[in-house]
Structure formats: C-alpha cells, structure tokens
Amino acid sequence: MPTLFVVGTPIGNLSDISERARVTLASVHTVLCEDTRVTGKLLFSYKIATPMMSYHQHSGQTKTNKVIELLESGHDLALVTDAGTPAISDPGGKLIEELLSHFGEELKIIPIPGASAVITALSIAGVSADEFLFLGFPPHKKGRQTFFDRVASVKSTVVLYESTHRIFKTLDEISTRTPDRHLIVCRELTKLHETTYRGTAQDVTEKLQSTSIKGEFVIVLGTL
C-alpha cells in the first residue's frame, strides 16, 4: 500500500521548510494542495517539479475519488496546505478522514512536521501553554455570539485565527466580554512585517489603528 505524507510547510518565511519536507515533496507522485499557485511558488523556489493537484474546502467527492484512485494505483502522495500544517484549521483533515474510512489501517499516513501558526504564537506569548484551547477562525455570522461567549468562559489559554477584514470586530467581541484579559496578537508571523502586540483587547485595537492591519492574525488569550 502506498503512503500519504502530511507535510508541514512554511507559514511565511520559505527558509523554514525542513530538509525532510523538501525531500518528500520531490519524491512523491503528486502533491495535493489547497491552491496550486501558492504551492507552486514553494516548489519552484526549491526546484521541485512534482505534479500538483488541488484539494480544498470546496472539493467534492469526485476529487476525493481521484485521490483514492492514485493511492490504489500505488502512488505515494503528499498533502500540504497553503501555509503551516495540514488539517489544523484546514480542509486536509476532511480528506484524511475520508481516506481512513475507505482504506482503514491499510493506508500508511506519515506526518512530516513543520511550522504551525498556533505553536509559533504560543512559543512567544509568555503565557501558560501547558493547557490551551485552539478554536481556529471564529464564525462569520451564525453561531458567532455563542462562539465568543464560549471563549470568554474558558479559563485556560485560548488561541484563535483571524483575518485582516475581521480583526477589529473580533477584538471588540473579546473586549465586550473580558475587557481586562491579557492578549498577545501576532500579525504576519515569520514574514517581513511580523509584529506582536500585547495588552488588553482595547490596547491592541489602539495599536493596530495606528499601523497596518494587513495580513493574517493569531490571537492568544491568556489564562483567567
């Protein structure tokens, strides 16, 4: 039975890719990726010519069946996400679940560790990470209030992702519920304009209002 390699890739700085990840991506039959344009740049930078196939949150059963067909034909595959570790707030988890349902324990799945924005942010947060709750991206509409009520009720460290377009709304939701809670907000981790903000939600909001808010954010809420 062939192997599915789950490969962690850089979250920004391309130098963060591991040698093992490079060798794996160069040796498999096909690289499954969210966006072939994004992964294509990574492969090109390391002169890797492995064919790519898209697999993202809108991929249907037809695409899953194609992955199954490749594996049944004896081809090793690599699964990557646009940035970071597949299946962590990423549709790759759905694919792995479906492949396990189809193949069971016959399918060999090997993780190739790499960067993860959650762990990267926690490593510099200066708060307890002995226990933490990762909740990914907040809902845009349905369930949003319930989501933030839950965040406010958790006493241990909480980690969220957020986009440029919703960062202020999310900080406002947090400030409304726990105005004194200490936050660490990381923007553009490992990239040229990487910035870390610390303070209450209101403090961070004021700091962001005086600078650029472009990029992806990781929000770490300290313990209560």
Q: What is the CATH number of the domain that holds 61?
A: 3.40.1010.10
Instruction: Please tell me whether residues 62 and 14 are part of one structural domain.
Output: yes
- Total domains in the fold of the chain: 2
Per this entry, what is the length of the chain? 224
Instruction: Please tell me whether residues 126 and 97 are part of one structural domain.
Output: no
**What pLDDT does residue 92 have?**
87
pLDDT digits (tens, 9 = 90+) for 13-39: 999 999 999 999 999 999 999 999 999
Instruction: Please tell me whether residues 12 and 92 are part of one structural domain.
Output: yes
Cα–Cα distance measured from residue 164 to residue 167, given in angstroms and rounded to the nearest whole number? 6
pLDDT digits (tens, 9 = 90+) for 39-49: 999 999 999 99
Given a contact cutoff of 8 angstroms between Cβ atoms, the answer to whether 57 and 66 are in contact is no
In the listed set 56, 80, 112, which residue is the last one of a domain according to the structure? 112
* Overall pTM surpassing 0.85 (yes/no): yes
Instruction: Please tell me whether residues 143 and 194 are part of one structural domain.
Output: yes
Instruction: Please tell me whether residues 132 and 203 are part of one structural domain.
Output: yes
Is the pLDDT confidence value at 59 over 90? no
**What pLDDT does residue 53 have?**
96
Instruction: Please tell me whether residues 136 and 106 are part of one structural domain.
Output: no
In the listed set 112, 144, 171, which residue is the last one of a domain according to the structure? 112
Q: Report the candidate in 20, 68, 18, 57 with the shortest Cα–Cα distance to residue 35.
A: 57
Instruction: Please tell me whether residues 203 and 142 are part of one structural domain.
Output: yes
First to last CA, the chain: 48
Instruction: Please tell me whether residues 9 and 103 are part of one structural domain.
Output: yes
Q: CATH number of the domain that 215 lies in? A: 3.30.950.10
| Residue range(s) defining the domain that contains residue 141 | 117-221
The mean pLDDT of 120-132, rounded to a whole number, is: 97
Instruction: Please tell me whether residues 126 and 204 are part of one structural domain.
Output: yes
In the listed set 63, 91, 112, which residue is the last one of a domain according to the structure? 112
